[in-house]
Amino acid sequence: MTLLILFIGFNPAHGQKTLIKGFAEVVTTVQDGKLSFGIGEQDLFITSEISNRLSFLGETVFKFSPSSPTKFNVSIERIILKYNYKGNHNLLVGKHHTPINYWNDTYHHGRVFFPTINRPLLFQKHIIPIHTTGLSLQGLNLGKLKFGYDIMIGNGLGSSDVLDNDKYKSITAAVHIKPKDGLRIGASYYHDVISEGAEIHGQTVTTRINQSLITGSVAYFGKKFELLAESTLAINSNDSTGSPLTVASYAYAGLKLKKKWVPYIRVDNLNYQSGEFLFEADNTTSFVGGLRYEINFLAVVKLEYQYEHREIAGNENRVTAQFAIGF
C-alpha cells in the first residue's frame, strides 16, 4: 500500500536525475605520547529524482571495524523514498536519521560539513537513537516563520533494519522555526518501549524500559558567527530503579575570520542521575578548541585539542588533525 501511494502522480516523461557524491577523511592523532595516522569513514551519497513527486536518497558508509575479517565494514546509513504529496509536505519511508535534533537532522556522514572533527558526546555515548527505520510525515518552510515538522513512527531500539524485535513502535515528533536567515530553533520528543532481552550497543537489556527523550536546540550560522547549542533530557523508566534522569548537552561557537579561517570551541556535558542503568553512567565534561580552514566548500582542514574529564574513567587529552573532502 505504501509503494502504491508513493507512485501516485508518477510522471514517466519526467527526466530522471541521479547524483552520486562521495566524502572521505584522513586524520592524525596525538594521544598518550603516541602519534597515529588513520583513515576515517568513506561515505557514498546517492540522490535521484525518479519523478516530479518521487525521489530517492541512499547513504552507504565504509569504515574500519576491528571485528571484521577484512577490518572494514559496509554500513547502510540511510535509504529513503520521499513522496511530495502537497506543496512542502512530504511522506518518507525507509531508514532515516532520527529527526531528534539539529545535528542529526542536518549533518550526514560527510565529515567535510561538520563544524568540529567529531560529533558531540551525546552521539558517541549513545544517548540518542541516531537511526530509525519507519515512516514519517514532514513539512518544511511553512509560513513566515518557515515552520517545519517531522512526525515519525518506526522500529524501536534493539531492532534490525529489516525486522522489529517487539510489538512496540518508536514515536518521534519534532518541530522547528527559522525566523531569520541562518537561525533555527527546534524541539522534539521521542518515546520507545525497549523490551527485555533487546541487544543495544553491545549489551543485553535485562528489564523492560520506557524511554522518553526531550530535546531543545538553537542553531545560528551567519556570515560572521556560528552558534549551536542542544540539550537532551533522557528518562529511562522501569519497575525496579524508577525513572533516573540523564541530561546531555553541548554548545559550539565559531568565529569566521577572512572567510576561510574559523577558530571554534565546543563544550559537552553528560550528567547521569544515580540509578541510571541503560547508558554508560560516567559523568563527563569535555572541552574542544580548534581551528578550521575552509579551502573551499568541499575541502576542509581542522586542527583540534580535546580534554575530557570523566568521573570514573579519568581524564583524557588528545590533539587531532583532519583533512576532509567531498567529491
- What is the rounded distance in angstroms from the CA atom of residue 269 to the CA atom of residue 308? 10
Q: To which CATH superfamily is domain 2-326 assigned? A: Porin (2.40.160.10)
pLDDT at 14: 55
Q: How many CB atoms lie within 10 A of CB 42?
A: 15
Cell 572533527: give the residue: 117
Partner residues linked to 33 by β-bridges: none
Domain ranges of the chain: 2-326
- What is the rounded distance in angstroms from the CA atom of residue 168 to the CA atom of residue 224? 46
pTM of the model: 0.91
> How many CA within 13 A on the CB side of residue 219?
20
pLDDT by residue for the chain (327 residues), tens only, comes to 444 444 444 455 556 899 999 999 999 999 999 999 999 999 999 999 999 999 999 999 998 888 888 888 999 999 999 999 999 999 999 999 999 999 999 998 899 999 999 999 999 999 999 999 999 999 999 999 999 999 999 999 988 888 888 899 999 999 999 999 999 999 999 999 999 888 888 788 888 999 999 999 999 999 999 999 999 999 999 877 789 999 999 999 999 998 899 999 999 999 999 888 899 999 999 999 999 999 999 999 999 999 999 999 999 999 999 999 999
- What is the rounded distance in angstroms from the CA atom of residue 314 to the CA atom of residue 281? 13
User: Which runs of consecutive H residues, i.e. helices, occur in 92-208?
Assistant: 102-106, 121-124
In Å, how far are 40, 158, 170, 179, 188 from 213, measured between CA atoms? 30, 16, 11, 25, 8
Q: Which amino acid is at 249?
A: S
- What is the rounded distance in angstroms from the CA atom of residue 173 to the CA atom of residue 169? 13
